[in-house]
């Protein structure tokens, strides 16, 4: 890359840092605080000792549930001493009430605690994993799912969730793809905003909303080689264009807190990265909530090799803009002496204390510290019929039909003996998936239970496990094959265990684990109609299964209502409409493979598949197994008549979509745009819009998208966004790979 590129960036950085320090010295005053409440906080801060201020900056796990290394056993004593600002992993009304009582009755200043928890896809009523929910492309339903999660969590004492996770990820080996919305930035922004709104509502004045925490800031999803916690290294342009926007969308939606990420960016761990946390987040994006570390990420800066001592790590973090230390005790143990040594300032501590007190004030905790401790709400607001119905519908909406040869699905009415075969067919524990908050696996509906509950009279359903998820034991094959031969229809329940995705769950091989492919192939050989139902927390490289099974339904981990929602789809009461938000590779060797890639100077041409000096593999096609945006329906949608009309700075793109099959169905109509020539090379296409529409059988709908030149803007080397006139191509279609196209020009 030319030298002038670096010098321009350096200049930009220095200017930003100068500007940042002048802004920071004036202090930050978050919005949403009335003058009267600001005066209350001012008065409180005047009466606080240094120790009490540092206490507000410290977050500890309770001994109720621990989600990482635990460094501090005696948190109750610390609460009493005013040395704790917040507690996480504590819920249920009585438990929370007791801890809050220590804070507001036994500590000197009686400052209430925040109670945080990983409410990631539901609290008690567990919804599908976030990657699954994203495949619904139903923003209103996603927002509503978080509304339910917030209602249940706040009914059990929680007022702060460590969600949404909005990390863009292009590497399915990384187990945490389960927690995000997939690979696309545009869609990721919409989902980030929907989730924040769902959790927080319009304000915090009701007692069924809580503070959201967008994480993991930033670019945690780009961990090298898909190995969790690994180094992130990318150009600033990629960071701005692809990875930062969803965090920004959450900030713009008013998110109350931000969690740092474990990874480094440009050689500096996020938790000690002043450019990221102060210059960008506070000063450019005007974030006015508080910043918390991810677990012990301050302490981990020693391992990163950017700090030699814990004290130095604490200095880096505070000065970078971290307000609250999760579980590391570093602020508690070091800020006092760092201050005496003048390595940090009083005003920086005050800024951090203020944003945390403001969060407590906004929640109303100073007026009623027990406002989230209502036994009555705990009784009536948990797992309501309405919540369970929403979860069931979301399971169906998250399902993606990947293959359906000869209309194998839905299960025909003629099938009177149905065999469920496979290790995930009746496994309650696996249905919740990772990060299942207070979800109770015993309350989950398995596929077998769901099918039995739904099957009509005269339909018998049998089950054989066949094999385990992840070992080479084939002793169950015989019984499984025997069952298959006496059935009219076979459902294979295959995939990963619930714990094989999520944090610290990277996999180098992402095909079906164990001997599941062998089992599937043997079952298919019986000649019976077979549909594979997949349970997994990431895209899988299921080339073998895809060649063998006539039908494949991707269901992720559906949560509490998994079996019911999937059965609705399998029996045809719900016509599947989910579309992948993350590409399924053919093999790990293609990773990263994502739809919005660049063309390169030597693109592969399908018209000349054997060409030598082009960008391709010798031993594998370039294209993935199932592309972004892909998902079938029980009906067929045909697209025709695309047009793109420019008027001033507006472009109207229209196409006709016909339901050419014989049942009603919903289709996610997708709009992509390619900028043919840019001063910075542009991807082959970028998602710019979608509409999820119900089209009745035989009906045609005209689907219209309006975009403006703002939607065509991209980042330039000065890290400013603008669009460039010239030639574009609009694509409308059923997936990123199957589209109609229409060129347009803008002067
Ligand atoms: C995870 C976070 C989570 C935190 C608290 C960390 O290990 O990375 O996503 O919010 O633990 O449980």
- pLDDT level of residue 480 (50, 70, 90 thresholds): very high
Distance 330 CA to ligand 1 centre (A): 17
Pocket test for ligand 1, best of 87, 118, 174, 230 (most atoms within 8 A of CB): 118
Q: Which of 326, 350, 349, 395 has its CA nearest to residue 160? A: 326
By DSSP bridging, strand 257-260 and strand 489-495 are unpaired
Q: Are residues 429 and 519 in the same domain?
A: yes
Q: Is residue 118 part of a domain?
A: no
Q: Which residues line ligand 1 (CB under 6 A)?
A: 67-68, 118, 162, 215, 294-295, 503
Q: Are residues 579 and 678 in the same domain?
A: no
Q: Are residues 534 and 447 in the same domain?
A: yes
State residue 67's pLDDT score: 60
Q: Is residue 80 part of a domain?
A: no
Catalytic residue among 118, 171, 184, 294: 294
Distance 504 CA to ligand 1 centre (A): 11
pLDDT digits (tens, 9 = 90+) for 319-362: 999 999 999 999 999 999 999 999 999 999 999 999 999 999 99
pLDDT digits (tens, 9 = 90+) for 367-394: 999 999 999 999 999 999 999 999 999 9
- pLDDT level of residue 575 (50, 70, 90 thresholds): very high
Of 565, 588, 611, the position where a domain reaches its end is 588
- pLDDT level of residue 24 (50, 70, 90 thresholds): very low
State residue 75's pLDDT score: 86
Say how far apart CA 352 and CA 258 lie, in whole Å.
Answer: 13
| Residue having the nearest C-alpha atom to atom 10 of ligand 1 | 162
- pLDDT level of residue 275 (50, 70, 90 thresholds): very high
Q: Are residues 646 and 703 in the same domain?
A: yes
Pocket test for ligand 1, best of 164, 294, 328, 436 (most atoms within 8 A of CB): 294
294 is known as an active-site residue: yes
Pocket test for ligand 1, best of 61, 64, 66, 162 (most atoms within 8 A of CB): 162
Would the pLDDT of 12 be above 50? no
Q: Are residues 432 and 564 in the same domain?
A: yes
> What's the mean pLDDT in 554-566?
98
Of 570, 588, 606, the position where a domain reaches its end is 588
Torsion of CA 298, 302, 305, 306, to 10 degrees: 40
- Roughly what angle, to the nearest 10 degrees, separates helices 310-320 and 330-340? 80
Would the pLDDT of 695 be above 60? yes
Q: Is residue 464 part of a domain?
A: yes
Q: Is residue 667 part of a domain?
A: yes
Q: Are 549 and 492 in contact (CB under 8 A)?
A: yes
pLDDT digits (tens, 9 = 90+) for 302-323: 999 999 999 999 999 999 999 9
Would the pLDDT of 19 be above 50? no
Q: Is 518 exposed, middle or buried (0-12, 13-18, 19+ CB in 10 A)?
A: middle
Q: Are residues 563 and 661 in the same domain?
A: no
> What's the mean pLDDT in 227-245?
98
Ligand 1, closest atom to CA 162?
10
Q: Are residues 555 and 672 in the same domain?
A: no
Q: Is residue 341 part of a domain?
A: no
Say how far apart CA 684 and CA 727 lie, in whole Å.
Answer: 13
Say how far apart CA 746 and CA 683 lie, in whole Å.
Answer: 18
Domain limits for position 699? 637-746
Ligand 1, closest atom to CA 89?
12
Q: Are residues 501 and 560 in the same domain?
A: yes
Q: Is residue 361 part of a domain?
A: no
Rg of the chain's alpha carbons, rounded to an integer? Answer: 27
Q: Are residues 573 and 442 in the same domain?
A: yes
Ligand 1, closest atom to CA 68?
7
Ligand 1, closest atom to CA 165?
9
Ligand 1, closest atom to CA 118?
10
| Residue having the nearest C-alpha atom to atom 8 of ligand 1 | 294
Say how far apart CA 141 and CA 412 lie, in whole Å.
Answer: 29
Got the DSSP string for 634-670?
SS-EEEEEEEEEEETTEEEEEEEEEE-SSS-EEEEEE
Distance 294 CA to ligand 1 centre (A): 6
Q: Are residues 548 and 430 in the same domain?
A: yes
Distance 296 CA to ligand 1 centre (A): 9
Ligand 1, closest atom to CA 213?
10
Q: Is residue 111 part of a domain?
A: no
Count the domains in the chain: 2
State residue 69's pLDDT score: 52
pLDDT digits (tens, 9 = 90+) for 390-426: 999 999 999 999 999 999 999 999 999 999 999 999 9
Of 556, 572, 588, the position where a domain reaches its end is 588
Q: Are 441 and 432 in contact (CB under 8 A)?
A: yes
Q: Are residues 422 and 483 in the same domain?
A: yes
pTM comes to 0.95
Distance 81 CA to ligand 1 centre (A): 26
Distances in whole angstroms, Cα of residue 315 to Cα of each of 24, 54, 115, 330, 435:
16, 13, 26, 9, 31
- pLDDT level of residue 202 (50, 70, 90 thresholds): confident
Q: Are residues 584 and 650 in the same domain?
A: no
Q: Is residue 413 part of a domain?
A: yes
Distance 132 CA to ligand 1 centre (A): 20
pLDDT digits (tens, 9 = 90+) for 138-161: 999 999 999 999 999 999 999 999
Q: Are 120 and 435 in contact (CB under 8 A)?
A: yes
Which domain CATH number covers 657?
2.60.40.10
Which domain CATH number covers 512?
3.40.50.1700
Q: Are 349 and 54 in contact (CB under 8 A)?
A: yes
Distance 89 CA to ligand 1 centre (A): 11
Pocket test for ligand 1, best of 59, 60, 68 (most atoms within 8 A of CB): 68
């Amino acid at each position: 890359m030319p030298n002038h590129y670096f010098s321009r960036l350096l200049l930009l950085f220095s200017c930003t840092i100068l500007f940042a320090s002048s802004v920071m010295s004036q202090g930050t005053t978050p919005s949403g605080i009335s003058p009267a409440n600001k005066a209350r906080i001012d008065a409180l801060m005047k009466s606080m000792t240094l120790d009490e201020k540092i206490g507000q900056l410290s977050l500890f796990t309770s001994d109720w549930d621990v989600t990482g290394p635990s460094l501090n056993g005696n948190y109750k004593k610390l609460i009493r001493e005013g040395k704790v600002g917040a507690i996480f992993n504590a819920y249920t009304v009585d438990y929370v009430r007791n801890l809050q009582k220590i804070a507001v009755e036994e500590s000197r200043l009686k400052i209430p605690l925040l109670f945080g928890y990983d409410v990631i896809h539901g609290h008690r009523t567990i919804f599908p994993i976030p990657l699954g929910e994203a495949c619904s492309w139903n923003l209103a339903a996603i927002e509503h799912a978080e509304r339910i999660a917030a209602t249940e969590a706040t009914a059990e004492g929680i007022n702060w969730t460590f969600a949404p996770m909005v990390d863009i990820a292009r590497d399915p080996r990384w187990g945490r793809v389960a927690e995000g919305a997939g690979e696309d930035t545009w869609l990721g922004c919409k989902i980030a905003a929907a989730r924040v709104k769902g959790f927080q509502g319009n304000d915090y004045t009701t007692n069924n909303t809580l503070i959201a925490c967008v994480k993991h800031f930033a670019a945690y999803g780009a961990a090298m080689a898909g190995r969790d916690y690994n180094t992130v290294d990318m150009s600033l342009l990629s960071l701005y264009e692809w990875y930062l926007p969803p965090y920004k969308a959450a900030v713009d939606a008013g998110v109350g807190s931000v969690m740092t990420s474990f990874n480094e960016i440009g050689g500096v761990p996020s938790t000690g990265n002043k450019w990221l946390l102060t210059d960008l987040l506070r000063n450019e994006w005007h974030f006015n909530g508080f910043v918390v570390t991810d677990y012990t990420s301050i302490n981990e800066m020693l391992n990163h090799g950017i700090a030699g001592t814990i004290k130095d790590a604490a200095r880096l973090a505070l000065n970078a803009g971290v307000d609250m230390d999760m579980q590391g005790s570093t602020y508690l143990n070091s800020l006092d002496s760092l201050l005496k040594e003048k390595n940090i300032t009083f005003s920086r501590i005050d800024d951090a204390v203020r944003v945390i007190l403001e969060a407590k004030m906004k929640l109303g905790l100073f007026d009623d510290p027990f406002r989230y401790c209502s036994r009555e709400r705990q009784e009536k607001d948990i797992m309501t019929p309405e919540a369970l119905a929403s979860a069931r519908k979301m399971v169906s909406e998250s399902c993606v039909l990947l293959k359906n040869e000869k209309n194998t699905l839905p299960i025909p009415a003629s099938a009177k003996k149905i065999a469920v075969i496979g290790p995930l067919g009746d496994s309650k524990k696996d249905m919740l998936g990772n990060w299942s908050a207070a979800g109770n696996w015993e309350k989950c509906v398995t596929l077998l239970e769901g099918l039995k509950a739904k099957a009509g009279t005269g339909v018998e359903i049998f089950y054989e496990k066949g094999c385990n998820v992840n070992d080479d034991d084939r002793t169950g094959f015989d019984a499984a094959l025997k069952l298959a031969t006496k059935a009219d229809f076979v459902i294979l329940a295959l995939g990963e265990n619930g714990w094989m995705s999520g944090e610290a769950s990277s996999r180098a091989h992402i095909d079906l684990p164990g001997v599941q492919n062998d089992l599937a192939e043997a079952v298919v050989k019986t000649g019976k109609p077979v549909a594979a139902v997949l349970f997994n927390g990431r895209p899988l490289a299921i080339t073998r299964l895809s060649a063998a099974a006539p039908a494949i339904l991707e269901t992720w981990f559906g949560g509490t209502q998994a079996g019911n929602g999937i059965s609705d789809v399998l029996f045809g009461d719900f016509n599947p409409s989910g579309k992948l938000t993350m590409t399924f590779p053919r093999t790990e060797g293609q990773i990263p493979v994502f739809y919005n890639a660049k063309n390169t100077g030597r693109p592969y041409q399908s018209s000349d598949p054997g060409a030598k000096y082009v960008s391709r593999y010798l031993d594998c096609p370039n294209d993935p197994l199932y592309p972004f945006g892909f998902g079938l329906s029980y009906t067929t949608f045909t697209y025709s008549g695309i047009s793109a009309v420019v008027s001033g700075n507006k472009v109207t793109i229209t196409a006709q979509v016909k339901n050419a099959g014989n049942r009603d169905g919903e289709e996610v109509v997708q709009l992509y745009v390619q900028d043919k020539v840019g001063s910075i090379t542009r991807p082959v296409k970028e998602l710019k819009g979608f509409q999820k529409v119900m089209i009745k059988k035989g009906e045609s709908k005209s689907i219209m998208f309006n975009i403006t030149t703002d939607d065509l803007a991209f980042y330039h080397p000065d890290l400013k966004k603008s669009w460039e006139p010239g030639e574009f191509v609009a694509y409308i279609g059923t997936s990123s790979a199957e589209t109609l196209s229409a060129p347009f020009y803008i002067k």
